[in-house]
Amino acid sequence: MLEVTNSIKKLVKSLSATKNRRELGLFVAEGTKSVGDIAKIFTPKMLIATADWFGENADAARVNCDRYVAKKSDLERMSCLSTATSVIGVFSIPDYDFDLKTCETELVVALDRVQDPGNLGTIIRLCDWFGVKHILASAETVDVWNPKVIQSTMGSIARVKVHYVNLVEVLSSTSAPVYGTFLEGESLYKAPLTETGVIVMGNEGKGISADVARLVTKKILIPTFPEGSTGAESLNVATATAITVSEFRRRQR
């Protein structure tokens, strides 16, 4: 095990920027739970942790990667998050292929310009819970390898694949049903729901863009209670995704 160097510190810090992550093909995970879950699927390039952490995590010490010991204060300075951490892992960004047929054989979630890292992370985590293995994301969607996204997936990033695609192209090419939530949609609780297909969720403030909305074949609505009451104007996008995916899965039982 080596002492962490200034160039390693700089490298990790630089990976908080999307541009640098893309150039180097690397991303960062922080904390025992995230690093541990991701390391089960992807081999880390390097682990940087306190001597105590390496002592308590003997498995990690056997992983075939570069290991650096750092002071707690060094880790805090390298961290992109507000919570203190004892371990930082650097991983290669995986290269996933997306097979268009998946939309016809599985339930897929598509995100049209979701901007908030916490929302994307929460959506990945709930997709993992509900067995949704593939998320399509428009190019304008926040970068999934952002440390805040990684953190809020609580390890689920290791099991759910996010594919950045041209959503209009993909949705035009599939024969699968495309669901989207709209104020004029049919009640989610009453609408017929298929076991496979695409559920599109839109931007936090602006919803689904016009180009994508045109390709939605089944408009649905999460009804307020009592039905038709007007208080809240909208639901948070992760909340709406959770309710929608849960209802699809309930019907499948």
Binding site for its own copies (CB under 8 A): 118, 122, 125-126, 128-131, 152, 154-156, 159, 189, 222-227, 229, 231-236, 238-239, 242-243, 246-247, 249-250, 252-253
Of 182 and 189, which has the nearer Cβ to its own copies?
189
CA–CA gap between residue 78 and residue 157 (Å, rounded)? 21
30 or 74, CB closer to its own copies?
30
Taking the least distance from each CB to its own copies, the nearer of 45 and 249 is 249
Quote the least distance from Cβ 177 to its own copies, whole Å. Answer: 18
> What letter represents residue 186's amino acid?
E
* Closer to its own copies by Cβ: residue 69 or 118: 118
CB of 193 to its own copies, least distance (A): 13
**Can you tell me whether residue 50 is helix, strand or coil?**
coil
Shortest spacing between CB 19 and its own copies, in angstroms: 21
- How far does Cα 83 stand from its chain's mean position? 20
Closest by alpha carbon to 109, among 181, 38, 41, 158?
181
Quote the least distance from Cβ 76 to its own copies, whole Å: 20
Distance CA 229, CA 74 (A): 52
Between 118 and 177, name the residue whose CB sits nearer to its own copies: 118
Query: Would you say 68 or 179 has its CB closer to its own copies?
Result: 179
Distance of CA 88 to the CA centre of its chain: 19
The answer to whether 85 touches 26, Cβ cutoff 8 Å, is no
Nearest approach in angstroms of CB 67 to its own copies is 26
What angle, rounded to 10 degrees, do the helices at 117-129 and 237-251 form? 10
DSSP state of 85: -
CB neighbourhood size of 20 (10 A)? 13
Tokens 């268009």, residue?
Answer: 100
User: From residue 217, how far is each of 48, 56, 127, 211, 249 by CA, in Å?
Assistant: 48, 53, 22, 13, 19
3-state class of 30 per DSSP? strand
Smaller CB distance to its own copies: residue 97 or 233?
233
Rounded CA separation 48/3 (Å): 9
Min CB(120)–its own copies separation in Å: 12
Q: In the bound complex, what is the minimum distance in angstroms from residue 70's beta carbon to its own copies?
A: 25
